[in-house]
Structure 1
């Protein structure tokens, strides 16, 4: 501010000098050009001797830098600077030779001067009348002061201006510093730089993804892990979720579509990854600034849960079979104790026929040992839950490659577990008069795919949740306790990885899940 005021003051001083001194040198030039002696001598052959005292007197009296007189041909005939005599005069404006006065700045003898050029007009020599005949020109110049001289000349008022500017600058600086202090929470620049360094180290040093959005759902911050998990481009900062083509449940979680300030352990499927997301709204002074969401990749953990689920399923099967065998042994023991030996034989024969019929129904239609064993295990679990597990008469499955068999078992096991859970209500049915619950499995195979259809007698699925059951991934219990697997979300992942899909629809009797796994995709993968 001080520099600006000083510059304005010096510019004002220069403008004042040009205005005041320009008028003065113009007046001196007009006075000299109007002298009868000068006009008379300019018509003579050697006017220098008579004109010299006149211009010297003007120089002494006015204190200007130089006074010069030139004839009508533009040659200097007399000057206070003898070096200029005989040289051509430089006109600031060609109209000076036509009888017009001019003043302005010119470069004279290497210095910048304020110059006034006034034409000398005389009478016609024949008629002796003033017809405005051009006789020559009078040049009066005054050197422009240097910046230091102007600064000394302006010191009388410049100090006042600088004092006022200094006061305003101090007050303005104090107010600006106070405002910046409030915005930076009283931190010094060194502390702010340290926080920025710590933030960068924190964001890029943690194994979790972090993404921040403003109130317009634009990305304001994201670390490398978050960009990788969400599969976003490097130039995603400043772009909205719509521009980044983030839709569906992922957009709902990031934008807080449920209107709750915070969301915990929300599971989202993003391009083959199982992501657990925690969102927190950022507020300051009761004003919403945006949100910050952390992301954890649970894809590998989901696969481990799948394997753990297999062990848990085996344990459940053994427990169910132990319970079933214990009941049968108790029955046989009771019959022996009361002496009904024939009844024991008939009871054992009935159990054998039932077991043989179940084994025959499974093994005659399903030739893949792993799938057949899985259905046998699931039938025991279903029987304990008072659920009948049926094998459709249209079922037909040949032996499959090991990897394909494992994926088919994963999909089939998840669908059967969900169906048993739906029809049994999560608990063992105790009412013998209740309508019998059943789950039917149908496996079909052709040259290109394996189709898995699981029907049940449950209440079905609401139409608006037909896709949500796959995109949600974990259930509410799974998100908070981790006791359940990824269920239908993992089923969809397996199907899509194998070039297939899974869908659900309601029938007259309950829900029907249809999963398709491509055999050709598996063969091409093995070929690669």
Structure 2
């Protein structure tokens, strides 16, 4: 029972009720202070004028003017000073000579005492009212001089009334304070009740400790997820980003509450985050990583509040896909060569059966020369055996698709280390595959390859396809969808992988218009160096 009472006393609604009561108390104290100040000012203004009026009335009384200096003035003038007190409600009325000696007083014990005039200038012949300390009490006093016919001050009439205590001032304003108290308490309780209902509705009945616990658990779970998670509201502002997302995007926790485009995120990823549409398995290549992103809309109480995007690092997966693509290309080349060799063997078999041995010799010689020409056209410019083999295989595969693949006469490539050769094969193979795909069925059906290792390594692949629109050139190397091989960019992840590899070697990948029409893809790898053989 006590635990439940303690829980209820610590509840959010209870805390707000206590706060409201505190506010009401502060308001009442402020009202009391204002009331006391106003009552004090009212007392000073009203009673001060009253005191000086009574003093003037006493000073103008003939008996007072005639007998003020009489040795028996205290007894003779007692009725007059008592009447002044009775009529005005003052506390004290006195007749004081110029030296400050009390000659007559409504308090007989003060007769003969010497008193001070304080800040009063009544001895100079001026009437005055203000604050004085009389027998240790703060009082409002009015003082009027009794003047001779020539203007000299003969004596002073002083009428005073002590200031009421704070409790007396508050008692005088009691009804007003009770009204304020009732209104304040009623408004405080009503506001507390409405506020507690609203809080319970928005917090689903959870208390402060429970909300804090949920927030801590949410943060712990969010930042322990291996996948990157980033939330963006409908205004394009980042609302949450976990540790994995910070690492994948190269950003810090300070990007929270900042617009996506001002957070230093790769432009292609930023465009995806603010597009607002659901996206599944979208692959975007940044300069250092290949990211697989999945975005879903986030709603609260039926209202859209933004999007939540998860992301995975698919760099290794993309590299493996590139290797698999290369193996598939080799397989396709072997299949094409098998088909070509089968046709040639059938032809030779037929000629042998017909006894056309001279024709067999001529055909074999022509085939040998053709193969030698293709090999020579490549190997005399390309010294790396792996890259040369790729070009020879791609030439045969392109020919099967009706596309002419040519290596320019000014191409040159020295031997590379195995690791470098693997990257070059991946870049070159993806660019050629993309060019062959778009050139197939065109009027020229041509792909031209230029390789130059004079300053780093530059690979240029021109095709006879329709070219790449200017609007797509900024993102063609960045974005691909693995489930649709016919996306812009031709082969989905292929061009993204080209950009990743070139960036890893400090290079760039770009596309522009080719001189003879179509597109020209240019990949630069400045950090690749050839291997010098002894």
Same fold, TM-score > 0.5, yes or no:
yes
Aligned partner of 1:486 in structure 2 is 493
Alignment check: 8 A CA contact 2:284 2:292 kept: yes
Question: In the alignment, which residue of structure 2 is the partner of 1:265?
Answer: 281
1:254 aligns with 2:262: no
Q: Deviations over 1:368-412 (max 9, x none)?
A: 122112213323433443433322222222223444433322221
1:184-223 pair list within 5 angstroms: 184-185=203-204, 187-223=206-242
d(CA) in 1 for partners of 2:54 and 2:65? Answer: 12
**Does the residue aligned with 1:168 lie in a helix, a strand or coil?**
helix
Q: Secondary structure at the match of 1:477?
A: coil
8 Å Cα contact 1:33-1:138 kept in structure 2: no
Quick check: 367-376 or 216-225, which moved more? 216-225
- Gap regions ≥5 residues in structure 2: 1-22
- Mapping 1:124-139, distance limit 5 Å: 124=148, 127=149, 131=151, 133=153, 135-136=155-156, 138=158
Give me the TM-score of the superposition, normalised by structure 2. 0.76
Distance of aligned partners of 1:474 and 1:61 in 2 relative to their CA distance in 1, 3 Å threshold:
same
Q: 1:154 to 1:39 in 2, by over 3 A?
A: same
- 1:123 aligned partner: 147
Which of 81, 86, 91 pairs up with 2:114?
86
Which residue of structure 2 lines up, in the alignment, with residue 2 of structure 1?
24
Q: 2:406 touches 2:448 (CA, 8 Å); kept in 1?
A: yes
Other-structure match for 2:370:
354
Judging changes above 3 Å, is the alpha-carbon distance between structure 1 residues 100 and 250 closer, same or farther for their aligned structure 2 residues?
A: farther
Q: Secondary structure, in 3 states, of the residue corresponding to 1:469?
A: coil
- The answer as to whether partners of 1:302 and 1:485 remain within 8 angstroms in 2 is no
User: What does residue 304 of structure 1 align with?
Assistant: 320
1:360 is displaced (CA, Å) by 1.8
- Shift in alpha-carbon separation, 1:96–1:287, aligned structure 2, 3 A: farther
Cα separation, 2, equivalents of 1:347 and 1:98: 148
SS at match of 2:259: coil
Aligned to 2:185: 166
Distance in 2 of aligned mates of 1:409 and 1:74:
119
Q: Provide the secondary structure at the position in 1 that maps to 2:374.
A: helix
1:179 maps onto 2:198 in alignment: yes
Kindly indicate whether the alpha-carbon contact (under 8 Å) linking 1:22 and 1:116 is maintained by their aligned counterparts in 2: no
Following superposition, the deviation at residue 150 of structure 1 comes to 5.0
**Which residue of the partner structure matches residue 10 of structure 2?**
none
* Residue pair 1:32, 1:38 contacting (<8 A) in 2 also: no
C-alpha spacing 1:52/1:242, structure 2 compared with 1 (3 Å): farther
Against the structure 1 CA distance between its residues 436 and 160, is the aligned structure 2 distance closer, same or farther, given a 3 Å change threshold?
closer
5+ residue gaps in structure 1? 426-433
Structure 2 SS opposite 1:459: coil
Q: Does structure 2 conserve the Cα–Cα contact (< 8 Å) formed by 1:6 and 1:158?
A: no
Cα drift, residue 157 of structure 1: 5.5
Partner of 1:101 in structure 2? 128
| Structure 1 CA distance for aligned equivalents of residues 318 and 154 of structure 2 | 107
Correspondence 1:371 to 2:387: yes
- Kept in 2, the 8 Å contact 1:97–1:134? The answer is no
Residues 25-104 of structure 1 mapped to structure 2, 5 A cutoff: 27-28=50-51, 30-32=53-55, 34-35=57-58, 36=61, 43=69, 71-72=97-98, 80=107, 85-91=113-119, 99-103=126-130
For 1:462, the equivalent position in structure 2 comes to: 469
Secondary structure at the residue paired with 1:220? strand
Deviates more, 1:435-444 or 1:366-375: 435-444
**Secondary structure of 1:304's match?**
helix
Distance 1:515 1:247, change over 3 A: closer
Structure 2 residue aligned with 1:429: none
Shift of 1:154: 5.0
The 1:61/1:121 distance shift into structure 2, 3 A limit, reads closer
Specify which structure has the bigger relative contact order, considering alpha-carbon pairs within 8 angstroms and separated by 6 or more residues.
2
Displacement of 1:417 after TM fit? 1.3
Q: 2:510 aligns with which of 485, 503, 512?
A: 503
Q: CA RMSD in A?
A: 4.2
Q: How far does residue 418 in structure 1 lie from its aligned partner after superposition?
A: 0.9
Residues 146 and 155 in structure 2, CA contact (< 8 A), matched pair in contact too = yes
Q: Report what 2:17 is aligned to.
A: none
Tell me, yes or no, if the aligned pair for 1:39 and 1:121 is still in contact at 8 Å: no
> Aligned partners of 2:250 and 2:72: how far apart in 1?
97
Counterpart of 1:23 (choices 46, 66, 77) is: 46
1:353-380 Cα shifts (integer Å, max 9, x gaps):
3322222222222111221122133234
Contact 2:430 2:495 (C-alpha < 8 Å) held by counterparts = yes
* Contact 1:96–1:119 under 8 Å retained in 2: no
Which is worse superposed, 25-34 or 388-397?
Answer: 25-34
Residues 42 and 136, structure 1, Cα contact 8 Å, conserved in 2: no
d(CA) in 1 for partners of 2:101 and 2:327? 117
Per-residue CA deviations over 1:105-146 (Å, capped at 9, x if unaligned) read x666665x3x2222222131xx3x7x5847336251324324
Alignment partner of 1:391 is 2:407:
yes
Deviations 1:173-201 (A, max 9, x none): 22233333444455443443333223322
